[in-house]
Copies of this chain bind each other. A is one copy, B any other.
Amino acid sequence: MRPSGRELNQMRPIEIEVGFTKHAEGCCLIKVGDTHVLCTASLEERVPPFLRNTGLGWVTAEYGMLPRATNTRMRREAASGKQSGRTQEIQRLIGRSLRAGVDRNALGERQITVDCDVIQADGGTRCAAITGGWVALRLAVNKLMKAGDIVTDPITDHVAAVSCGVYAGQSVLDLDYAEDSQAGTDGNFVMTGDSGLIEIQASAEGATFSKTQFAELMALAEQGVADLVTAQKIATS
């Protein structure tokens, strides 16, 4: 039995509130259960030095967690003077994932920075950040297209992510914190709207896992991503 009483293949409720803040070119507050992430997409009409005069655009991401997003207060990274290894790992993942769904030629020489700030955490923050980050990106690109600054849509597909894991011996979808902290194996799956694989990260915690278990996790992920893509469609329609 899952602590939340959910079915093995049941996602938490998904809510995506667009326009939660007013300044960014694209913005949403995504809630996957009690995990709440504010995602903003900021547009700049310039690219990093390594892309100048290539005609290619860039999408990058930054990730943060408010100090009391978690059950006990964590030290503020700005105060400790550096981003943790975990933070850097996550923001690199978000950036890579979103770029996989973007035609950088069509975007042209501009950069979109997606900031994902966790307001409240209950497991799966990096997956929610990718899913919500895509929505913010979509909205920012919509604005560019509406203004006629871009003609061909540079977004090639939806990008969404979900975590699955082996909890109490069972493969389950969309781990919450209670499950995540106990899971024997934990995997994050980033996929496109048509089930193309973008990124897989699966880790044994304690025991190793088998190919069969891994296949179960991947199947669950495919289901979960489908739900997330549906929510993205509703939010951005």
Q: Is A145 an interface residue (CB 8 A)?
A: no
User: Chain B residue with minimal CB distance to A27?
Assistant: B68
A67 — which chain B residues lie within 8 A by C-beta? 40, 42, 62, 113, 115
Cα–Cα distance between A200 and B209 once the two chains are bound (Å): 11
- Shortest beta-carbon distance, A102 to chain B, in Å? 11
* Identical chains in the assembly: 6
- Shortest beta-carbon distance, A195 to chain B, in Å? 8
Q: Is the CB of A23 within 8 A of B69?
A: yes
A40 — which chain B residues lie within 8 A by C-beta? 66-68
Cα–Cα distance between A214 and B201 once the two chains are bound (Å): 13
User: Chain B residue with minimal CB distance to A23?
Assistant: B71
Q: Is the CB of A76 within 8 A of B198?
A: no
Cα–Cα distance between A115 and B68 once the two chains are bound (Å): 8
Cα–Cα distance between A51 and B41 once the two chains are bound (Å): 29
Cα–Cα distance between A204 and B200 once the two chains are bound (Å): 9
A27 — which chain B residues lie within 8 A by C-beta? 68
Cα–Cα distance between A67 and B96 once the two chains are bound (Å): 20
User: Which of A86-94, A126-134, A146-154 sits within the interface?
Assistant: A86-94
Q: Is A36 an interface residue (CB 8 A)?
A: yes
A42 — which chain B residues lie within 8 A by C-beta? 67-68, 72-73
- Shortest beta-carbon distance, A150 to chain B, in Å? 19
Cα–Cα distance between A203 and B42 once the two chains are bound (Å): 25
User: Which of A6-14, A77-85, A168-176, A223-231 sits within the interface?
Assistant: A77-85
Q: Is A100 an interface residue (CB 8 A)?
A: yes
**Contact partner of A202 among B71, B89, B200, CB < 8 A?**
B200
Given contacts A38-B119, A40-B66, A200-B200, contact A100 B208 (CB under 8 A): yes
Cα–Cα distance between A203 and B196 once the two chains are bound (Å): 11
A81 — which chain B residues lie within 8 A by C-beta? 81-82
Q: Is the CB of B73 within 8 A of A113?
A: yes
Q: Is A70 an interface residue (CB 8 A)?
A: yes
Q: Is A210 an interface residue (CB 8 A)?
A: yes
Cα–Cα distance between A26 and B136 once the two chains are bound (Å): 30
The 3 closest A-B CB pairs, nearest first, are A196-B208, A85-B88, A77-B78
Known: A192-B208, A197-B209. 6 other contacts (CB 8 A): A44-B73, A64-B76, A76-B78, A82-B82, A83-B85, A85-B89
